[in-house]
Amino acid sequence: MSTDPHTLRLLLAAALVLAYLGMCAAIWHGQRRKARAAQAQARALALAPQGARPLLLAWASQTGQAEALAKHTAELLHTAGEAVHLLPLGSVTVQTLAQATRALFIVSTYGEGDAPDMAAPFVNGPMTGTPALPQLEYAVLALGDASYAHFCGFGRTLDAWLAATGARPLFERIDADQASARASADALAHWQRQLGHVARIEHLPAWQEPAWQRWTLARRVHLNPGSAGQPVYHLELAPAGDNASAGPVPLPEWQAGDLVQIRPPADPDHPRDYSIASLPSDGRVHLLVRRQQRADGTPGMASGWLTSTLAEGEPVDLRLRAHTAFRLGDNATRPLILIGNGTGLAGLRSHLKARAAAGQGENWLIFGERQAAHDWLYRDDIARWQAAGLLARVDTAFSRDGPRKRYVQDVLAAEAGQLRQWLARGAAVYVCGSLQGMATGVDTALRHAVGHETVDALIAQGRYRRDVY
């Protein structure tokens, strides 16, 4: 088929006009995109002063509260148009501080006025000197527990160190007593108001504490009858409404290493933490609780209630707490050295369960208690994992069985050669249980066996993690 020259000219002209219109549309779209980007930039600049650098937000946390608050604070500021550089304190260097003009610190306190473990590289690095930081404006939110002698000790130390560098406070340090729900809420509301001034925003949405969930005690077993120590119980909790007639209630998610917070009915303003000893695939939250005995002989408020007053089928107000510092994280493919005493076996059991489920058997458990005959908690689980090749090595230290007292730290000292071999193969160390005596003794034994530098490097690499109390 042929086209006459007139029609051909018309078609060519139409194609040219269309191409021209297409080009105009592309230019218009491009300009509109640029204009939008310029408007967004102008809005951001209006919120952040000209030439302002991102606001540094550094956090140091042991059991996750400071971490959660830092993430929440970052989200608030981000929504308000502030550019935020969120960093774990252990990753902050002198250079990071020297390049910042404004910095917020959210830090908790552990041990006796000490920094959380993950802050060790900062405490042993930048904080050993006094760099000049006159360009820096800062604020500190310190989390602690007012019943400790060194309330918010690390927050105070950090604040004093920053002042010594010549940095200037944006506002006065805020100390939050996290053991009291009311005091903590007041401190956090104060922090939010001050942040509002820093970011020049009238109303930042208030921090919402995670909600309490209603669970029930489904089963309780006394694990150490005849023990010379206080009684220890295995508890199983199920979401409320989870019964044969109503069918199962969906379980919330958690990971090995996580914690629960429990609100005792007689002291609802002071929740207590417990390490979870199970996985969601178990269908229940398992806890390992020792009934505490106070100096006057009375039972501890929460542990007394959980291990005796509370009856099976009765309600428990609980919330799950992500304990990222004690999760497997990047250590999933590494060999694990799991060290604990007493109820510390709870946090190790969830890890052993996760390792068994993953078919990862390169695990070395070092467990300490008083007497094998009474205090060998979860002995059947451990024997089963050993038999299945899912627990390469188990050492126990029963302090009252031999002529000489022997603790988990003594096992580490005696097995220093094995310890070095496991670490050379890339192993990670998980410690769970009492801080006084056990965890401090284990830390000393580790440092003695492999040196301070190696232990500090393990902390920096996330290969030495602790859930200790």
Ligand X SMILES: Cc1cc2nc3c(=O)[nH]c(=O)nc-3n(C[C@H](O)[C@H](O)[C@H](O)COP(=O)(O)OP(=O)(O)OC[C@H]3O[C@@H](n4cnc5c(N)ncnc54)[C@H](O)[C@@H]3O)c2cc1C
Rounded-to-integer distance, Cα 300 and Cα 292, Å: 5
- Tokens standing for 300? 């501890």
- The window from 69-77, 167-175, 273-281, 380-388 that contacts ligand X (CB under 6 A) reads 273-281
Query: Which one among 267, 312, 330, 453 touches ligand X, defined by CB under 6 A?
Result: 267
147 near ligand X, rule: CB under 6 A: yes
Rounded-to-integer distance, Cα 380 and Cα 254, Å: 24
Query: Which one among 292, 386, 399, 444 touches ligand X, defined by CB under 6 A?
Result: 292
343 near ligand FMN, rule: CB under 6 A: no
Rounded-to-integer distance, Cα 212 and Cα 197, Å: 31
Which of the choices ligand FMN, ligand X, none does residue 151 contact, using the CB cut-off of 5 to 8 A by kind? ligand FMN
Q: Where are the beta strands (DSSP E) in 358-427?
A: 363-369, 393-398
Rounded-to-integer distance, Cα 447 and Cα 439, Å: 12
Q: Report the residue number whose CB is nearest to ligand X.
A: 300
- Tokens standing for 145? 């527990």
> Tokens 């009915």 identify what position?
265
- The window from 56-64, 130-138, 162-170, 303-311 that contacts ligand FMN (CB under 6 A) reads 56-64
Secondary structure percentages of the chain, helix, strand, coil, to 5: 40, 25, 35
Which of the choices ligand FMN, ligand X, none does residue 337 contact, using the CB cut-off of 5 to 8 A by kind? none
Query: Which one among 66, 136, 223, 365 touches ligand FMN, defined by CB under 6 A?
Result: 66
Rounded-to-integer distance, Cα 155 and Cα 181, Å: 19
Rounded-to-integer distance, Cα 401 and Cα 170, Å: 58
Choose between 63 and 224: whose C-beta lies nearer to ligand FMN: 63
Measure Cα distances from 207 to 12, 191, 313, 325 in Å.
65, 10, 33, 22
Q: x/- binding map, residues 155-184, to ligand X, per CB under 6 A?
A: ------------------------xx----
- The window from 32-40, 64-72, 233-241, 453-461 that contacts ligand FMN (CB under 6 A) reads 64-72
Choose between 41 and 147: whose C-beta lies nearer to ligand FMN: 147
433 near ligand FMN, rule: CB under 6 A: no
Phi, psi of 194 (to 5 degrees): -65, -40
Residue 288 Cβ, how far from ligand X at the closest point, in Å? 5
Choose between 110 and 398: whose C-beta lies nearer to ligand FMN: 110
Query: Which one among 108, 165, 396, 409 touches ligand FMN, defined by CB under 6 A?
Result: 108
Note whether 193 and 141 are within 8 A (CB).
no
DSSP 35-98: HHHHHHHHHHHHHSPTTPPPEEEEEE-SSSHHHHHHHHHHHHHHHTT--EEEEEGGG--HHHHH
343 near ligand X, rule: CB under 6 A: yes
Interface residues with ligand FMN (CB under 6 A)?
61-66, 108-113, 116, 143-145, 148, 150-153, 178, 435, 469
Interface residues with ligand X (CB under 6 A)?
63, 145, 147, 179-180, 259, 267, 270, 272-275, 288-290, 292, 294, 300-304, 343, 346, 467, 469
